[in-house]
Structure formats: C-alpha cells, structure tokens
Copies of this chain bind each other. A is one copy, B any other.
Amino acid sequence: MAQFVNAKESLVTEALDGLLATSGGKLARLDGYPHIKVVYRAGWDRAKVALISGGGSGHEPAHAGFVGPGMLTAAVCGEVFASPSVEAVLAGILAVTGEAGCLLIVKNYTGDRLNFGLAAERARALGRRVEMVVVDDDIALPDLPQPRGVAGTLFVHKIAGAAAEAGESLEEVAAKARAVVGKVASIGKSLDTCTVPGSPKEDRIPKGKAELGLGIHGEPGVEQVNFIGAESAMGIVLEKLEPHLGDGKRVALLNNLGSTTPLEMSVLAHALAAAGVAQHVIGPAPMMTSLDMHGFSVSVIEVDDAELAALAQPVTMAAWPGMNDVVAVPVTPLPDGLTPIEPIPSANARTRATLEHVADLLVAAEATLNALDAKSGDGDTGSTLATAARALKGSLDRLPLADLTQLFPALGNELSQTMGGSSGVILAIYFNAAGDACANGQTIHQALREGLRRVSEVGGAQVGDRTMIDALAPALEALDRGLAAAAAAARAGADNTAAIHRAKAGRAAYVPEQNLRGHNDPGAEAVAILFEGLAEKLGV
C-alpha cells in the first residue's frame, strides 16, 4: 500500500523533524541522525528529575508527542518497531539528566529492556542517578510471564510526569511510576492488521472476525473472536479487564490504534461509558498507535486521589487529550418555536383572486414547462409547480389572506411542504424573507426584492447564472413601474437565458452546454409566464 513517505530509511528522521518544525521551538533534538534519534524539551534546565521513554517508532504520538512540561523530558526513538540502540538511549540520558537524576520508562520488550538497561548502567558508571521502570500492562494472556507494555504506559508518563514537574525526588517519582505499573491493565482489539512501511500488509483477520489481545507491532492477537458490533466488541474487552481491576475510583484510557475513525471511536466511547467501568476517561484519541491499525485498546487503572489529580492536571502537548469525568449525557428539551405557528385564517378577496390566478397560470403552464425542462433536465419543472399550485388553491381557506406579514411566511411554509426538494426550500426562504421585511415595515415591493436578495445569498445564484433569478430580478426591479413593465422585463430576462450556455448555479450547472443552447431556463420561463398572466388580468 502506498504511504506518504519518501524513503523507508529517512521515514523516522523526517517525521521527527516534521514534528519539531511544527512545534514552535518547544522541542529540540540531538545532532545524532540517523543513528541517534532523541527528542527533548527545549530549554530543559535539568533542575528536576528527567523522564525518558521511547522504543520503536510507529506508535505516534507516543513517545515524542508526549515530551513537554508535566510528561516526558525526552523520547529516544528507534526505527519503526525496532528498539533504539544503547548509544541512543545513553545519549538521551546524558543530554537531560542533572543532579536530580532520571527515570527510564520502558515498555516490556526484550530489546527495549536490554538497551535501556545497559544504557542505564553506562550512565551510572558516568555518575548519573538512573532508575528504570518496565511497564507490562497487557493482560491479553493471563499467564504470560512477560506481558507486553502497551497504552497503559501513558498513565506512567502522566502520573510520574506530574510528580517530576512538581520537583519530587527520583525515589518518589520512581515509586509512583512503579505503583502505576503494578495496577494498570490494558487490552487491544482490532479488525485489521497494520501496514509496516515497505512491507506488504498481512491479511490475517478473516471477515466477520476481530482479533483480541493483539500487540502494538502487528503481532497476532491471542484469539480471533466473532465481530458483531462495537458494543459487543467493547463488552468483550471490558470483561477481560475486569478481573485485573480494583474496586476504587477508576480511570479508563481509550486509545485509537491508528485508522479507526473518530466516529467509530466515539461509538466505542459510548459503549465504554454505558458499561460504567470507570468514572473518568482519557480519550478517545490516538495515543499509542500501531501505525494504521484499525483497532482500539482500553487501559484501566484504579487510582488514589493524588494519582487522579496528576492525571487531571492539564499539559500543553496537543497529543494529550486530557481527562474527563464520565457523565450521563446532558440532554435538554427542544426549544419552542420549531413548529410553525398556524396563522389565523383571514379573508381578502383581491389577494385570494390573485393567488388563485397565479395557481391557475402555473397549472396551465404544466406541459409547456415540462417540455422545456425535458431539454435540459428531468422534465418535471411544470409538474412540480402545478402540483404546488393545486395544493395552494386547496389551502386558501387556511391562509391569513388579510395580512401580508403573516401571509408571506405562511406561503413559504406551505410551498416547502408541498413542493419538497431544493425548489421548495428556495421558495420558503423567499417568502420567509419577504415576510421578515414586511414585518420590518418595508413595502410589498421592497419585501419581494428582499426575498430575492436572500435567496440569491443563500443559493449563491446571480443574474446571468441561468436560473429563475434571470427573470425575477428584472421583473422586481421594474415592478415600481407597474405590472406590465415587470412582465416585459421578466419576459426579456427569461428569453435571455436561452443564450446562457454555461450555468453557474442550480442543477443546470451539471448539464452539458449543447443541451442548454437555444432553450429558456424553465424556472425563468415560469416567472415570465406568471408576470405576463398577472399583468394581463390585473392591468397595468
């Protein structure tokens, strides 16, 4: 599978330099590329206990993303899924360790233990005070003599990090780290393996199955279980964790192993919260990933008040998602006003006659407009308008005909319900905006123009875009000079659309040019027919 890399050899060093270049100078690195890849806090003055972690790369944001005040002092990074060398770890130790000493936080893999362990000895021989904790939080295999270190390591970083930042001694910081290691339990689940750069992806997990108890290096899980959905997947994971947990206050860390979408992670968070396994939660977020693995892991720890406070303490690193209380979803009632208030019907003979006439004109134009639309669209403009017109005639007894301020929005709501689709929404916007203008004291002509302005703003169409606006805009401009002038302007505008070969808005934007040539836009034509008919009936 293709990936956004340049060369496997430079992948990790480029990625680290990318992180550093976009971290605003908060991170620095040692001049040891390609062999020594150590990222550390810029400006670190060695006055406090240094916290050093690391291991193979491919678990980002771990570990370099957690370097900063309140968490790690330095991250020693190996190549993808490969332990850093003894020299690299030693360089990290020597670079950041002062009188207060340093704590190495190591995940339980043989290579990491040995390389960090020997580096610790060599640093001690050089007079540095070095302690080391090995995190073995993975409970996938209950009787595994050497459980792996996985995402539970983040608890160590944060709790020991807060202690170190508070100026506690090496012994105190190490004791807190060891206490965390003794309590934290983690397990992962995935629907797919990960893609190691430069290697073909293993196709290990069959359809309908998920792998439980996998590691963060693509190594096979303990078992393949049936996958029937997110809730069940989370249930199985929590069931495995439960025997390892104390009964006190618990914090869960919900980790994205790589390519699980935020939507899925939130669905899993919903299942986690519903299960009530923990009172506090970190994430969901990618914290200790396995490249692009489509999976998640849950780590849970029972905490005392001091540990809880340490986990809650904010840090500035973007990779740390913070801790939150797990809460019942706060739900508030819907606001009033969602259902349009049915206006009180009122009578006005002239308005009624005008609306009836408009409706009749549109019903009469059904076939003409359909035929026109067939040339550039799906041939239903006439029917859509006629259907709405018939419904309008049937609704006249319910409308507030005597009050334009009320009538306009009522017409808009009526049309949006009977026409449906985009056209209905556009007409609803038109009449609601016109009603709004009327309510603000504008004249009927001004209100009609305001409706157009809003439709144009919302729909994005202007004169010249081959829409009904090409007829409506000139008609409304001319309206102050009488209906005949408006009708003439509408007709000119509609006829002009036949020459617009490139539609810029509306659905005609997707129609080939040759299909538009020589035909009026059906919407503009409908407007022209309307104004012509009204002018004829109602006079100049």
Contact = CB atoms under 8 A, between A and B. Distances in A.
Interface of A: 1-7, 11-12, 14-32, 36, 42, 57-58, 60-61, 65, 80, 86-87, 90-91, 94-95, 108, 110-111, 113-118, 120-122, 124-126, 132, 134, 145-146, 191, 197, 207-208, 210, 227, 229-231, 233, 254, 258-274, 281, 283-286, 289, 291-292, 294, 296, 316, 318, 321-322, 324-338, 340, 409, 412, 416, 422, 425-426, 428-429, 432-433, 435-436, 439, 454, 457-460, 465, 504-505, 509
Nearest to A6: B229
Given A60-B263, A267-B15, A509-B146, A285 B333 contact: no
Contacts of A11: 263, 267
A432 B125 contact: yes
A503 to B, nearest CB: 8
Given A6-B229, A28-B331, A425-B118, A460 B134 contact: yes
**List of 8 A-B pairs having minimum Cβ-Cβ separation, nearest first:** A117-B458, A18-B270, A24-B324, A121-B432, A259-B259, A18-B269, A60-B262, A21-B273
Given A11-B263, A42-B330, A117-B457, 16 more contacts: A4-B233, A5-B230, A5-B264, A14-B266, A14-B270, A21-B269, A21-B273, A113-B460, A118-B458, A121-B432, A124-B432, A124-B436, A125-B432, A145-B509, A146-B504, A258-B259
Nearest to A108: B460
B227 A458 contact: no
Nearest to A333: B31
B18 A432 contact: no
A527 B334 CA distance: 78
Contacts of A134: 460
18 contacts: A1-B191, A3-B261, A4-B267, A11-B267, A14-B230, A19-B266, A26-B324, A31-B333, A57-B263, A58-B261, A65-B262, A94-B335, A94-B338, A111-B422, A125-B409, A126-B337, A146-B504, A197-B263
B460 A296 contact: no
B330 A25 contact: yes
A422 B110 contact: yes
B121 A2 contact: no
Contacts of A273: 17-18, 21-22
A231 B5 CA distance: 8
A269 to B, nearest CB: 4
A134 B458 CA distance: 8
A332 B509 contact: no
- Secondary structure of the A contact surface, majority rule: mixed
A228 to B, nearest CB: 9
A91 B337 CA distance: 8
B433 A121 contact: yes
A2 B91 contact: no
A121 B36 CA distance: 62
Nearest to A320: B318
Given A125-B439, A330-B42, A426-B114, A58 B509 contact: no
A262 B412 CA distance: 49
Contact of A2 (B29, B208, B272): B208
A10 to B, nearest CB: 9
Nearest to A92: B335
Contacts of A284: 18, 22
Given A118-B429, A121-B433, A230-B5, A29 B331 contact: yes
Contact of A324 (B23, B87, B429): B23
A99 to B, nearest CB: 15
